[in-house]
Amino acid sequence: MKEEHEESNRRNFLKLGLLAGTATLAGIGLKNKIFAEGTEKTGEKVKVLTADGKVVEVDSSAIAHPSEEKLAQFNIRQGIPGKKFIMVIDLARCANARKCVEGCQSMHNLLPPIEYLKVKRMQDTEITAPYWFPQTCYQCDNPPCTKVCPVDATFKRTDGIVAIDSDRCIGCKFCMAACPYSARTFNFGRPQSQKNFEAHKNDKDKCCTTKNATEGTVSKCDFCPEHSANGKLPSCVTECPNGTIFFGDENEDAVTNGDETFRLKELLRSRAGYRQFEELGTKPRVYYLPPVKRQFPFEEATEVHNKEE
């Protein structure tokens, strides 16, 4: 009798416990549902090509991962309408973490020493302080590279991006000679890099407009236009642990590093933004904020990178 009683008590206990636990969880879940944010429409319209060749405009939240779409849908010569991308790099925050470089390498399937984004140690004079200097392609407004291309393989888009059509490039490297920032890289068919491209060519969610994998062509940083078209930030912006790189649309007068958003003009004014080699007249679209009031002191690099051929 006693055992049966205990048995039923145990059963009851378990039932009760289960009920209580479920009630708790259900309560929390219900609360989340009531107060949660749904996937709202971003309000951005993006042009896409449907499977039967029609061009329609859909809300950008409906776009799936970029590489799931056919490459042809991203017309490389067509700028994203209404946008003018701009970047601001805060040199007071760069600590040479190189996470931006790693993110960019992974996004474009690059292996060192080939880099679209380089972090350089700069020291302007002998007695001024050194600082770390992340350098991308500046997507200049007066680009010296597009001027000299003989076949129109590199060109300036309406959204500010200087893009490269890898199917057009003849590999003369005149654009590389013309760029004063050495921003461009050539695919010489480095064996390890080519193997890497092959291995990763079907990866999802990678930037595919700059096809560095095409041997004999030039490529460079392209401000990750597939991400930007869908309201996602380029990987260098999101990977930085210090939020050094800010990215935005100049027409909206706002730049963000993923966490903080600022009015572009106010940021440049209050932090004395400048452009690299302004006097060359290339009109870069990347501004730098001087390394004043650094968030942490300058530290030399502890390891040597890119020694492997």
Partner 1 sequence: MINQMKVYIYFLIMCMSVFFTSVSYAQEKEAKLTISFTQIDSVNVCKALVTSDEKGVKDVSVKLFVHRLFGLLPVGEAVSTDENGIAIFKFPSDIPAESNGKLSVIAKVEDDDNYGSLDAKGEINWGIVKNLSGSEKMERSLSASRERAPIYFMVTSDLIILGIWGTLIYIVFQVFKIKRISNANKKNN
Partner 2 sequence: MSQKNITSDNHPHETFTQEEYMIMKDDLLRPIQKIGLAGKIWIAFLVMICLAGIYAYYIQETKSKYVTVSLRDYTMWGVYISNFVFFVALSLIGVLMSAVLKLTHFEWYRPLSRIAEIIAVAAIMLAGVSIVAAMGRPDRLYYLVTHGRIQSPIVWDILVILTYVTTSIVLLFIPLIPSLSTCRNHLKNMPKWQMKMYEIFSFGWEGSAEQWKILKKSVRILTIMVVPLGVSIHTVTAWLFATTLRSEWDSTNFGAYFVSGAFLLGVAGMVVAVFVFRKAYKLEKYLTPMHFDKLGMALVFMSWVYIYFNINEYLVPAYKMDGLHANHLLNLFIGDEAFFYWSVILFGMGIPAILPLFPAMRKPLPLAIIAIGVVIAAWFKRYLIVIPGLVHPYLPIQDVPDSWKHYSPSLVEMTIVSATFAAMLLIVTLFSRFFPIISVWEVAEGKLEGKDEIINYK
For partner 2, the binding residues (CB under 8 A) are: 113-114, 118, 120-122, 135, 144, 147-152, 168-174, 176-178, 180-182, 184-191, 194, 215-218, 276-277, 280, 282, 304-309
Distance CA 184, CA 290 (A): 24
User: For the purposes of burial, counting CB atoms within 10 Å of the CB of 243, is it exposed (0-12), middle (13-18) or buried (19 or more)?
Assistant: middle
Decide if 196 contacts 98 (C-beta within 8 A).
no
103, interface contact from partner 1, partner 2, none, CB < 5-8 Å by kind: none
At 305, which amino acid appears?
H
Structure tokens at 125: 């004079």
Q: Measured from the CB atom, is 155 or 262 closer to partner 2?
A: 155
Q: Which is nearer to partner 1, 78 or 128 (CB)?
A: 78
Question: Beta strands 162-164 and 55-59: pairing type?
Answer: unpaired
Structural element, H or E, at residue 228: helix 225-229
24: part of which helix (H) or strand (E)? helix 2-35
Binding residues (CB under 8 A) for partner 1: these are 5-6, 9, 12-13, 16-17, 19-21, 23-24, 27-28, 31, 35, 37, 43-45, 79, 81-84, 142-143, 146-147, 152, 155-156, 158, 228, 231-233, 247-249, 251-254, 256, 258, 261-263
- The entry of partner 2, partner 1, none that residue 307 binds, CB within 5 to 8 Å by partner kind: partner 2
Smallest distance from the beta carbon of 96 to partner 2, in angstroms? 11
Answer whether the bond into residue 113 is a cis peptide, omega within 30°: yes
Residue 66: asked if its preceding bond is cis (omega within 30°), the reply is: no
Question: Would you say 137 or 264 has its CB closer to partner 2?
Answer: 137
241 binds, among partner 2, partner 1, none (CB under 5 to 8 A by kind): none
Of the pair 266, 278, the CB lying nearest partner 1 is at 266
